[in-house]
Amino acid sequence: MEKIRETTEKLISGERLEKAEFAALIRANSPQLREKLAAAADEKRRTFYGSSVYIRGLIEFTNCCKNNCLYCGIRRSQVCAERYRLSEEDILACCDAGHELGFRTFVLQGGEDPYFTPERIEDLVRAIKTAHPDCAVTLSVGEQPREVYALWKAAGADRYLLRHETADKAHYEKLHPSEMSFENRMRCLHDLKSLGYQVGCGMMIGSPFQTPETLAEDLCFIQSFRPQMVGMGPFIPAAGTPFEKERAGTLEETLLLLSLVRLILPEVLLPATTALGTIDPLGREKGILAGANVVMPNLSPVSVRKKYALYDSKICTGDEAAECLRCLAARMHRIGFEIVTDRGDSKLVN
Ligand code: SAM
Ligand code: FES
């Protein structure tokens, strides 16, 4: 108990922790510990970002994917997935509507879809930046060669989200088929950073085979890699995948991890994810109170929302973007935060 108290104080005062110390905090995970860490995380976040919550307009532009990640509801072998692709016009229309609503960041996320060649995505990025030069463009389209990341950066892309999924190689290999490699995932993240992107890594909480030690390894990686963003939400099983019968990650563990990451990197941009809102009706509010400062409402056309089914029972698949934003703004207001019209760039430099 005394040791946990000391470790907590060490983390709050900004000292680096060892893997064993992170693992001990993760194992301890009591309501008192979560409360203490959340209060400290809230205070740190307020010194950099006040009570502002940044919004990112998420455009899920294709659910076609050549990969076969074992946890993912749109993996290649998912025969029941109804595949779709948005056209460039559709995507630009989503951005126009989003801009009107106050979004200043657009996140283009999709499977690794060979139809969207590097040149097609390059054109898309240029078109969005030309139409909305006051906005940031975030890409989240998986593992690519360094030259492709460089091409998109030159076209104007500002940020890239690529969750590392787990920093433990053996664990990575249990979540992915043998044609994917831990080394390539890490190579991608380092390339993105050295090319000057604001980079987001992250992991699912409660993924199959995860342990306090693998999570502690994730935290050590985050501590040394210093990403500008960290995307973390609970793992939620998806019907039809090899992990369909596995247990979902818990609210409590996700909240603990959000507070820990905020304390490790006080300036980090940290979303309260849709997955967190899926496992608990007030999940996103609780995520913000634990230290998160970003929400990512969906800007994709309602007609395709249900088809981007990474996991079961995903929320917000029926509402128009304007309605989602109104709902989230009210939710944030009720807990004393406000959604702002701002690019919300990271204060962490590469
Ligand atoms: N293809 C891109 C990539 O691999 O980074 C972006 C799309 S991928 C679906 C985005 C993220 O969704 C993954 O990094 C993973 O962490 C998350 N995800 C996939 N399946 C999930 C599940 N069953 N539960 C929770 N999150 C999941
Ligand atoms: Fe490609 Fe999930 S396996 S997006």
Residues 5-42: tens digit of each pLDDT: 999 999 999 999 999 999 999 999 999 999 999 999 99
pLDDT in tens, 278-289: 999 999 999 999
What is the SS3 assignment for 323?
helix
Pairing status of strand 229-234 against strand 198-205: parallel
> Residue 109 above 90 pLDDT?
yes
Which pLDDT score is estimated for 204? 98
Q: Tell me which residue has its CA closest to atom 4 in ligand 2.
A: 111
Residue 64 Cα to ligand 2 middle (Å)? 8
310-332 per-residue burial string, b: 16 or more CB within 10 A, e: under 16 = bbeebbbbebebeebbeebbebb
Q: Give residue-wise pLDDT tens across range 200-233.
A: 999 999 999 999 999 999 999 999 999 999 999 9
Spatial distance between the Cα atoms of 293 and 303, rounded to a whole number of angstroms: 29
Q: Give residue 346's Cα distance to chain centre.
A: 14
pTM metric for this prediction:
0.98
Please check whether residue 81 is in contact with residue 304, taking contact to mean a CB–CB distance below 8 angstroms: no
Give me the sheet containing 229-234, strands edge to edge: 57-62, 105-110, 136-140, 159-161, 198-205, 229-234
Q: Which band of pLDDT confidence, cut at 50, 70 and 90, is reported for residue 237?
A: very high
* pLDDT tens-digit map of 240-251: 999 999 999 999
Average pLDDT over residues 50-55: 98
Question: How sure is the predictor about 70, in pLDDT bands with cuts at 50, 70 and 90?
Answer: very high
Determine which residue's CA is closest to atom 3 belonging to ligand 1: 142
Q: What is the pLDDT of residue 31?
A: 98
pLDDT at 163: 98
Which protein residues are within 6 Å of ligand 1, measured from CB? 71-73, 109, 111-112, 140-142, 162-163, 165, 204, 233, 235-236, 238, 275, 310-311
Angle, helices 251-264/212-225, rounded to nearest 10 degrees = 30
The secondary structure element, H or E, covering residue 140 is: strand 136-140
Give the ligand 1 atom nearest the CA of 203.
16
Q: Which ligand is nearest to the CA of 61?
A: 1
CA-to-CA separations, 127 to 59, 134, 231, in angstroms, rounded: 15, 13, 26
Per-residue pLDDT at 344:
95
Question: Domains in the chain, please, with CATH?
Answer: 2-340 (3.20.20.70)
Phi-psi region at 70: left, alpha or beta (left = phi > 0; alpha = psi -120 to 50)? alpha
Ligand 1 atom closest to 248 (CA)? 24
Q: Please state, in angstroms and rounded to a whole number, the distance separating the CA atoms of residues 160 and 116.
A: 16
Give the pLDDT band of residue 350 (cuts 50, 70, 90): confident
Q: How confident is the model over 306-323, as pLDDT tens digits?
A: 999 999 999 999 888 999
Mutate to test the pocket of ligand 2, among 62, 70, 74 (most ligand atoms within 8 A of CB): 74
pLDDT band for 103, please (50, 70, 90 cuts): very high
Confidence of residue 269 (pLDDT cuts 50, 70, 90): very high
CA of 72 to the centre of ligand 1 (A): 6
Tokens of 52: 């502002």
Q: What is the pLDDT of residue 1?
A: 79
Biggest alpha carbon distance in the chain? Answer: 59
Q: 338 - beta bridge partners?
A: 52
| Burial per residue of 9-19, b for 16 or more beta-carbon CB atoms within 10 angstroms, e otherwise | eebbeeeebeb
